[in-house]
Chains A and B, each alone.
Chain A
Amino acid sequence: MSRELTEKESVSEYVKSLALFLAGKGIEVHIVCFSSSPEEAKLGERIHVHKVPFIIHGDSLFNWSMLMNNELKRKSREIFEWKGFDIIHGNDWITSTSAISLAKFTEKPLVVTIHSTEKERGFGTKHSSLISDMEWWLTYEAGCVLSNNEGTYSSLRNDLQLPEEKIKLINPLQKGWQNEVLDIYQKFQNGMMTCFNGEKSSIEG
């Protein structure tokens, strides 16, 4: 789940790169994101892109995103009923409500990548506190939280008070980073509750 899937935008590139890697491993990937017009496309073999529009512009990014997420929920629920899926991967606070609700609805594990926190972005809008709350809820509900760099890792630890064992620093500029994400997916499939310390937190039985 991603806000958008465009060219040369960092979160989009992250999502595309991961999707291409996973597809190369024979894994089916569905990307659900916002777009000004609806589109069902394929990014390659086994990668389905579902772009959903939302017509209300909203008076702020926060309010717009809270409503736009309803469309992400609808599309994701349809995919789940159509083909099912094993893992939900949310990207940044902007997919919070759909990622959280979908994980609860489907009872599938939630992995989240926080590309930057509101605190890192400067806490500069009147909705910053709410956005930070949404980041907290998203990371709280996630089984594993991925951060892309030291700064975000530190903010997740210090500003959002995430426990160390829940965060994994995976730098998407380093070769083979996608393999590490796949490892985490596989741990979840094998019933691990958190990224690491699997022995401590694996589901009994």
Chain B
Amino acid sequence: MEKSHLSKDERMRILMATWEFPPFKVGGIASHCYDLSRMLASKGHDVHILTYGDKRSDESEEGVSIHRVPSTYAPDTISWSMFLSHQMEKKAIELNKEERFDVVHAHDWMTVPAGVGIKKLLDIPMIFTLHSTEKGRSGIHDSYTKMINDLEWYGTYEAKQIITVGQDFYNEVKSLFNVPDEKIHYIRNGVDISKFDTNKADVERSDYASDWEKLILFVGRLSHQKGIEYLLGAIPGVLNQHPDTKFVIAGGGALEHYKSMAYRIGIGHKTYFTGYLPEDSLISLFKKADLTVAPSIYEPFGIVALESAAARTATVGSYVGGLKETIIHENTGLHSYPAHIQSLCDQINRSLWDDDWRKWMGSNARRMVQENYTWDKIARWTTGVYGKAMELWD
């Protein structure tokens, strides 16, 4: 990435807090922070990442300074993140002594305690990006999920500016936490298409499907939120019309639960659960797939459809949240009704009937990503939000 030069006045010193950062990846936040921080650094900003690590370390990669701090044994994720946040805060104080930060940018509820603590101690504005909400992920049904919901509210309350990653999600956050209009922004997620063009890994298609089989790919955490049970429910109907089809299900989570569900339904031989796959293997799989499916019932952004698009592969996805934007129906893919087995089955079948149409949608999808979802644009919008927060802080 080519480095630009900013004047001293334009250059920002940015502290970004995220609980996951590559190579440690669980969800989409790690990739988001990785791509955003690299792009911000390439524009000449001084970017520091505070994140979890098994042990303390300070690294530098493509102009981004990465500081990893450990947590400790904890009985649950909330208290684990509280402890981690304190370690992050101590590191932030140390770094701030070298040169004062302009902003602290926290990602999701797990770094809210750190973001707020740093804001209050260093007296700098906090920006808070929500990637999803607890209400959407699992619902608020006990004191634990309520505490996470409270932390999300606390982040929106303490932040000078808030970023949401989807248009629908913007409205969800605004109404759920009563956020005033002037405080909240929608900045879409992005994809680094160069990764798809230069990817060296080359998984063998034959390891996943026979030559004569169509390969349909699901990528994501195996959880209710991702709608995996609706996909499994739709597979017999697809096989009925397209028997030479293999479903490759890539991702960690409740692997054994969904594997046994597939065998119970009688589609075990037509499904391949890969478990967690590294990013370069996933990119290779996206390129080799005939179709991607994203049957989520809650999806604030829907990065999978964009990654698939970057690989020129069309997606059938639920008409929900961010997938409403990242799939253009009958142009870059097809929409199905969320949590609706028959609808999902029909749309997969439709796309499989016409190879040329499906490939045409894949090409359109790639163009859509190139034009609208580049990190260059996202980084510019994000620094605009930082600037607004700094202006309001002064």
B201 at the interface (CB under 8 A from A): no
Closest residue of B by beta carbon distance from A131? B79
Does A77 touch B at the CB level, under 8 Å? yes
List residues 64-82 of chain B with CB under 8 A from any CB of chain A. 72-76, 78-79, 82
CB of A74 within 8 Å of the partner chain: yes
CA distance A59 to B146 in the complex (A): 8
Selected contact of B121 from candidates A58, A63, A74, A127, CB within 8 Å? A74
Q: Could you list 28 A-B pairs, sorted by A, with CB under 8 Å?
A: A58-B147, A58-B150, A59-B147, A60-B79, A63-B82, A63-B147, A66-B83, A66-B85, A66-B86, A66-B113, A67-B116, A70-B113, A70-B120, A71-B120, A74-B121, A77-B123, A97-B86, A97-B89, A101-B93, A101-B121, A104-B90, A105-B93, A127-B74, A127-B75, A129-B73, A129-B75, A130-B74, A137-B86
Cross-chain contact A73 with B78 (CB below 8 angstroms): no
Closest residue on chain A to residue B122 by CB atoms? A105
Q: Are B72 and A56 in contact (CB under 8 A)?
A: no
- A102 interfacial contact with B, CB 8 Å: yes
Number of interface residues of A (CB under 8 A): 28
Which residues of B, 120-165, contact A by the 8 Å Cβ criterion? Answer: 120-123, 143-144, 146-147, 150-151, 154
Is A126 an interface residue when CB atoms closer than 8 A count as contact? Answer: yes
The A-contacting residues of B in range 92-118, CB under 8 angstroms, are 93-94, 113, 116-117
Docked complex Cα distance between A100 and B154 (Å):
23
Contact at A70–B78, with CB atoms within 8 Å?
A: no
Q: Is the beta-carbon distance between A67 and B120 smaller than 8 angstroms?
A: no
Do residues B90 and A127 form an inter-chain contact, with CB atoms below 8 A? no
From residue B264, how far is it (CB to closest CB) to chain A in Å? 36
Closest 3 CB pairs of A and B: A74-B120, A66-B82, A59-B147
The answer on a CB contact under 8 Å between A63 and B72 is no
Residues 108-143 of A, flagged 1 when their CB comes within 8 A of B and 0 if not, give: 000000000000000000110110011001000000
Q: Kindly state whether residue A152 has any CB partner on chain B within 8 Å.
A: no
Q: At the interface, yes or no: A62 with Cβ under 8 Å from chain B?
A: yes
Contact A130 B83 (CB under 8 A): yes
- CB pair B113 A77 closer than 8 Å: no
Bound CA–CA A70/B122 (angstroms): 11
- Contacts between chains A and B (CB distance < 8 A), count: 78
**Closest A residue by C-beta to B154:** A56
B72 near A62 with CB under 8 A, answer no
In angstroms, Cα B83 to Cα A129, docked, is 12
A62-B79, A67-B154, A130-B83 known; A102+B121 contact, CB < 8 A? yes
Minimal beta-carbon separation of B178 from chain A (angstroms): 14
CB contact between A59 and one of B74, B86, B122, B144 (< 8 Å): that residue: B144
* Alpha-carbon distance between A100 and B116 when the two chains are bound, in angstroms: 16
Specify the chain B residue showing the minimal Cβ separation from A69. B117
Q: Which residues of B contact A56 (CB under 8 A)?
A: 150-151, 154
Task: Give chain B interface residues in 17-47, CB to chain A under 8 Å.
Answer: none
The A40-95 residues at the B interface (CB cut-off 8 A) are 56, 58-60, 62-63, 66-67, 69-71, 73-74, 77
CB neighbours (8 Å) of B146 from chain A are 59
Asked if residues A101 and B75 are in contact (CB atoms below 8 Å), the reply is no
Q: Point out the residues of chain B lying under 8 angstroms from A130, CB to CB.
A: 72-75, 79, 83
CA distance A97 to B76 in the complex (A): 19
Q: Give chain B residues whose Cβ lies under 8 Å from the Cβ of A60.
A: 79
Among residues of B, the one whose C-beta sits closest to the C-beta of A60 is: B79
- A101 B79 Cβ-Cβ under 8 A: no
- Distance in Å from the Cβ of A36 to the closest Cβ of chain B? 17
* CB–CB A126/B75 < 8 A: yes
Contact of B82 among A62, A71, A74, A102 (CB under 8 A): A62
Contact A73 B79 (CB under 8 A): no
Q: Closest approach, in angstroms, between the C-beta of A85 and any C-beta of chain B?
A: 15
Q: How many Å from the CB of A96 to the closest CB on chain B?
A: 8
Instruction: Determine how close the nearest CB of chain B comes to the CB of A1; give it in whole angstroms.
Output: 13
The answer to whether B154 touches A63 (Cβ under 8 A) is no
Q: Which residues of A contact B86 (CB under 8 A)?
A: 66, 96-97, 100-101, 137
Given contacts A59-B147, A70-B117, A101-B121, contact A127 B93 (CB under 8 A): no
Q: Whose C-beta in chain A lies nearest to the C-beta of B78?
A: A63
The answer on a CB contact under 8 Å between B79 and A67 is no
- In the assembled complex, which residues on chain B have CB atoms less than 8 Å from the CB atom of A102? 121
A70/B93 contact (C-beta < 8 A), A59-B78, A102-B121 known:
no
Q: How far apart sit A129 and B72, CA to CA, in the bound complex (Å)?
A: 9
Given the complex of chains A and B, what is the CA–CA distance between A74 and B144 in angstroms? 27
